[in-house]
Amino acid sequence: MRTPIVMGNWKLNGSKESVTALIKGIEAAADAAPNVEVAVCPPAIFIDQVATLCANNSIEFGAQDISTEVSGAFTGETSTVMVKEFGAKYSLVGHSERRQYHNETDALVAAKFVAIQANGLVPVLCIGETLEEREADVTKKVVETQIKAVIDLAGIEALENCVIAYEPVWAIGTGKVATSEQAQEVHAHIRSWLAEQSKVVAEKVQILYGGSVKAASAKELFAQPDIDGGLVGGAALIVEEFVGIIEGAK
């Protein structure tokens, strides 16, 4: 059995005050769901604050993006070692907004994936097709290519210790959630494609769905056999919504 994960990606949102309110608002629900792992990915500057707030609850946390480098003359970057020092467990890697607005290629995403694992964090590899790609019926090929870049660099065994987040770009921040059938179809494809390379990886890896997940849609999505939780953007910033999504994963 794979433990479901409900992970909030706060993106570029929050203040000292709202971060405290959000963690205080969701911690009871997280603690009351021992069979669900709850995690948040705040902007890097709030990781210290989140670490303090989560010292005595079950909420895990991670970075939204990370440098391939550990230290040195790399202005503006945050390293795995730094976030690990604060107790982070995860780092997202390859989010479509990084791919789109920061020109992150599959090769760079793979290098970041390796850096994340090398320093003891768990990568959350984000993949997914654009609307044009879905309409051109190349969704499966796109997600295979995105995962293959990591396998080519790190080897298939590296995927034994990671999380995959399938986030169709057309569903992110648009309110257009994929239907549970659409999401399950891609998740099942990812798992069977992985199984051709390693049954252990395919069985073990948690595949989260992301893209306009709300409390109202969570339960049905998470009931699908190959959907192991969600990576949540907008609804992760609203206490009642995020709590409802945690409930949907129980």
Which residues are marked as active site?
A: 95, 167
Q: Is 100 in the site for ligand 13P (CB under 6 A)?
A: no
Q: Which residue do the tokens 């992150």 mark?
A: 104
In whole angstroms, the minimum distance from the beta carbon of 232 to ligand 13P comes to 5
Q: For 182-231, give the DSSP string.
A: HHHHHHHHHHHHHHTT-HHHHHH-EEEEESS--HHHHHHHHTSTT--EEE
In whole angstroms, the minimum distance from the beta carbon of 211 to ligand 13P comes to 5
Applying the rule CB under 6 A, the residues between 44 and 83 that interact with ligand 13P are: none
Applying the rule CB under 6 A, the residues between 166 and 185 that interact with ligand 13P are: 167, 172-173
Q: Is 14 in the site for ligand 13P (CB under 6 A)?
A: no
In whole angstroms, the minimum distance from the beta carbon of 80 to ligand 13P comes to 19
Tokens representing 160? 């034994």
Choose between 81 and 89: whose C-beta lies nearer to ligand 13P.
Answer: 89
DSSP character at residue 179:
P
Count of H-run helices and E-run strands, the chain: 11, 8
The residues that touch ligand 13P, with contacts defined as CB under 6 A, are 9, 95, 167, 172-173, 210-213, 231-235
